[in-house]
Each structure stands twice: as C-alpha cells, then as structure tokens.
Structure 1
Amino acid sequence: MAVEITSKIVGYRIKQNEPAAPEPVLPDENPLTVRIPSRPEGTLEAVSEKISYVGAEGRKKVYLLVSFMPVEGVVGGKRVVIERPVEFFFPSGQLSSEHQWITATMRSLSLAARGGYVTQAVADLRKVAWDKGLVRCGWNRHGKPVFHDSEVSAIAWSIQQILYRRGFLDQDGNQVPVEDLVERYAQRAANGYAWQPEEEEAGAPETGTVEPIDGGASASAEAAGPAVVGHCPECRGELIMMDGCPTCYAGCGWSKCG
C-alpha cells in the first residue's frame, strides 16, 4: 500500500530485522543411565542363545533370552539414540532345583538393565563362587578353555559375550563409551544391520562360546577342544594341559600341580 508523504523529509533510517532468539541448549542426559520405568508394551528385538558348560555334575545346556530397545538421550546438546539391553529371561525348569533363584536373579538383572547399571551387575555375578569346583564354559582369545568359579559366573560370562557381540560391551566386559554406541545404532538404522566385531576379534575362538539356538560355530569349537592327557583321580573326568599342568577338564578343580 502506497503512503503519501506530505511533510518535509529531514532524515531516514533503515529498519533492521530483529535477531532470531537463540535455540535453547538442551541439558545433557546420558542415554546409558536414563531410567526405564518398566518393560515397554509390544515387541522388542531379542537374542536367544544356548549356553553349554561343564561342571562337577557333567555337561549342561541352558537357554537365555536378552531383549534390547532404543533409548534416547542428550550428549553435547544434541539428541542421540543408543541400544540398551532391558530384559533378561531364563526359562524356568532348566535347572529344576534352582529355578526360583535363577528367575529372581534374572528379574534383578532386568531391573539393573532398566536402571542403567547392568554392566556392573553382570560383573558382580562373575565374582560368585561355590564349593563344587570350577566350571568350564567357552574359549578365550588364545584358544584355551575358560574356567569359572561357579555356574552363575559361567552364565554371567556368557551374558557378557552376548552383549559384546551386540556391541554394548567390549571384549573384556567393559562398558563401550556412549559415543561409540550412538555411532553403532546409527549404522544399524542407516544400513539395516547391526554393528559387528572387527575381523580379528570376530574370528577369535571366544566369539563362538555361546551357542545360537540353531547350532552355529560353537559346536565346531567344542569338537576342536584341547587334547586329553589322562583322567582325573578325583572324579575320573578328562585331564587337559593348562599352563603346563594336567588339570581336570570336568571342572572338579583337581590339578597335578596342586
């Protein structure tokens, strides 16, 4: 619309645009420690594994289910998404006399996962010991069998391996930094596949120690175990060479070197 000027012009000024208000800075919120009140409704991605171990009572095979979900947070003022374990399920009846304690432990582990401290909780389970001798479960990166202080410790170690292969923990059971978790989840979202360990790690014997339900690499790893050098005088189990000393492979704890 035209405006008629009827008076004398004595000066002028160019109107300036008002500066845009700065965007508010979001406070940091670590997605690793964000509390998840409860298991969300609907379907979650999950990993089902068959765990095989040998102890004083012989060989046992049990099944374990770990569920994962994306969790949002704020890092450096930016919204990010990572994947976290939120539920651990160990079907009851696999070890009949102890199933109530197993169920209770899995519920506590699920609470720890949703509370943001599952890494410490699993590490604490690794420290559980019993008086029935060592339990053999899995192979380390040098191709030697791994011995644990109890069945609980063996299952906790197997859980760490599941979380390692999912990219949540490193190979030694330590927490992966949140920046790496963000990158790995972005890779999954962009390419449609999960992060995988590097080739030199993926090819190590340790990665095949927990058996997928449909079999997999661990069956061949079991078959290619160390040579038997005799039988245990305590439980008549097989002896193998460990650090240059005949040691009971069945897990009763006997060793020729004491």
Structure 2
Amino acid sequence: MAVEITSKIVGYRIKQDEPATPEPVLQDENPLTVRIPSRPEGTLEAVSEKISYVGAEGRKKVYLLVSFMPVEGVVGGKRVVIERPVEFFFPSGQLSSEHQWITATMRSLSLAARGGYVTQAVADLRKVAWDKGLVRCGWNRWGKPMFHDSEVAAIAWSIQQILYRRGFLDQDGNQVPVESLVERYQHRMQHGHAWQPPVEEEESVPNGAVEPIGSSSEAENTPKKPKGSGPATVGHCPECRGELIMMDGCPTCYAGCGWSKCG
C-alpha cells in the first residue's frame, strides 16, 4: 500500500513483527483425584465378574459389575486422559445378608470412585472381619489359596483383582502411578483393547481348583499346602480327598469343594 510523505525525512527504523502472545500455562490437575459430580448419562464400559468363595455357609457364587470411564487431567502442563472406575453394582438377592447394607456399601464405593479415593476405600473393606471364621477366595501369585477375614473382605479383594486386570491397581491392590495409567489408556486407544497384565504376573490357578472336584483323579491336580504355611490341616476331605482345615470350629475342605463336617 502506497503512503504519501508530507514532511521531511529525518530518520528511519525497520518495523519489527509483534511478539507472539505466549500460550497460557496449564495448571496441573491430577486425573486420579478429579471429582466426578455424578454418574454420566448414557452407556459406560463395564466388567461383569462371577466371584466364588467358600466360608462358614459353604460355597457361594456372586456377581459384581464395575463401570469405567475416561477422565481428563493435566500432568506436567499437558492434557492427559486415564481410565477410572466410577460405579460399582451388586445385584440383589445374592447373599443372605440384608440387601440394604450391600446396596449402601456399593453406593459408598461408587461415591469414593467418583471422588478419587476408591483405592483407599477398597483397601479399608479388606480389613472388615466377622465371627464366622475365614473365607477362602481366589489364589495368590504363587498358586496358594487366599484366606480373608469375612465375606466383605473377600469381595473387596475380588474388586481389587478386577481393577488390577483392568490396569488401575497393581496385583497387591496399590494405586498405579498416573503416568502409567496415561500410557495404558493410550495403548487402549491405539490397539483397540485394554492393557493386559504380563503373563508372568498373572495369578496361577491350578486345575480343578475353581469348581468342586468330583473324582480322586482330579484331586491329584489340587495344590498341596506346604508345611508350615496357612491354617493347620486336620485330615482329608471325604468328597475330594483334599486337605481339611478348621474354620469356625468345623473341619472344612481346603481344596474348595465346600464340604464341611458341620454341614
């Protein structure tokens, strides 16, 4: 564009470009602790799992549903996304306990999940004890049965294992660092499936240990309890020939078929 000069030129300078406006620095916001006001509308991805355990009342099987959703945050000045559990659901009529207490517990867990402290809440449930003896549920990484202080503790341990297989917790129920959660969610988006635990870390469940054993040949595949570990044995099960331990004052099958001398 032409400019008309109407006065004497006494000097000149080269016009500089205006400095670019710096982008605002994002404040860090841990996606693990971001509060979710309520369960969002619409469909959420969920895991439905059958949990089997043996207690004072014999073998029980219950079903549990855990829903997940992506949650945004800011780490190191960058926007990131992780996956978090946001809802726990326990269908009614599965246990003899009053359903109102089960519903209250699941609602509390859901609130803890949306509030960002579900890891601590589930760990606290594992400390719940009762007066009906130990409850056997699941297997540890060395192939040995897990014993819990109550049905609530057994279900809480099972919830931890669901969250472990989803990549949210480690195998011991500890919180996975947010950086790892970011990487695992990116893996999910790139490969179309969730992160999976390494093969060497997965629980080893021996053959014939999940369902009741019906023959002596299958009983040979049942793991033997090493001497000096776990409850003392008091004989052998007449049903599956597995080892018996004392539970609530009654000899009860350690192998998992649910037989008890007290019925």
TM class by shorter-chain length?
0.7 to 0.9
Is the 8 Å Cα contact of residues 134 and 251 (structure 1) preserved in structure 2?
Answer: no
Name the aligned partner's letter for residue 210 of structure 2: E
Is the 8 Å Cα contact of residues 51 and 63 (structure 1) preserved in structure 2?
Answer: yes
Q: Which has the higher helix share?
A: 1
In structure 2, the CA distance between the partners of 1:93 and 1:249, relative to structure 1 (3 Å rule), is closer
* In 1, Cα distance between equivalents of 2:30 and 2:178: 8
Q: Gapped runs of 5+ residues in structure 1?
A: 209-217, 241-247, 253-258
* In 1, Cα distance between equivalents of 2:55 and 2:259: 5
The alignment covers a number of residue pairs equal to 233
1:67-78 equivalences under 5 Å are 67-78=67-78
RMSD: 2.4
* In 1, Cα distance between equivalents of 2:89 and 2:6: 85
Is the 8 Å Cα contact of residues 82 and 181 (structure 1) preserved in structure 2?
Answer: yes
Name the aligned partner's letter for residue 235 of structure 1: C
Among candidates 239, 244, 250, match of residue 235 of structure 1: 250
Is the partner of 1:41 in helix, strand or coil? coil
1:35-184 equivalences under 5 Å are 35-184=35-184
Between 1:136-145 and 1:10-19, the stretch displaced more is 10-19
* In 2, Cα distance between equivalents of 1:3 and 1:86: 66
Name the aligned partner's letter for residue 238 of structure 1: C
* In 2, Cα distance between equivalents of 1:34 and 1:94: 33
Post-superposition CA distance 1:197-256 (Å, at most 9, x none) = 112113x31xx6xxxxxxxxx98542543359515574342256xxxxxxx99599xxxx
* In 2, Cα distance between equivalents of 1:153 and 1:6: 90
Is the 8 Å Cα contact of residues 55 and 251 (structure 1) preserved in structure 2?
Answer: no
Q: Report percent identity of matched pairs.
A: 81
In structure 2, the CA distance between the partners of 1:105 and 1:15, relative to structure 1 (3 Å rule), is same
Alignment-derived partner of residue 194 in structure 1: 194
* In 2, Cα distance between equivalents of 1:225 and 1:169: 29
Name the aligned partner's letter for residue 141 of structure 2: R
Q: How far off is 1:191 after superposition?
A: 1.7
* In 2, Cα distance between equivalents of 1:220 and 1:25: 57
1:12-31 equivalences under 5 Å are 12-31=12-31
1:198-217 equivalences under 5 Å are 198-202=198-202, 204-205=203-204
* In 1, Cα distance between equivalents of 2:209 and 2:254: 18
Name the aligned partner's letter for residue 67 of structure 1: S
* In 2, Cα distance between equivalents of 1:239 and 1:195: 33
In structure 2, the CA distance between the partners of 1:20 and 1:249, relative to structure 1 (3 Å rule), is same
Post-superposition CA distance 1:112-163 (Å, at most 9, x none) = 0001000000000000001101000000111110000000000000000000
Alignment-derived partner of residue 215 in structure 1: none
* In 2, Cα distance between equivalents of 1:197 and 1:251: 34
Alignment-derived partner of residue 210 in structure 2: 222
Between 1:230-239 and 1:41-50, the stretch displaced more is 230-239
In structure 2, the CA distance between the partners of 1:239 and 1:126, relative to structure 1 (3 Å rule), is closer
In structure 2, the CA distance between the partners of 1:43 and 1:153, relative to structure 1 (3 Å rule), is same
Q: What TM-score comes out, normalization by structure 1 length?
A: 0.83
In structure 2, the CA distance between the partners of 1:25 and 1:129, relative to structure 1 (3 Å rule), is same
Q: How far off is 1:3 after superposition?
A: 3.1
Name the aligned partner's letter for residue 118 of structure 1: V
Structure with the bigger RCO (C-alpha within 8 Å, sep 6+) is 1
Is the partner of 2:210 in helix, strand or coil? helix
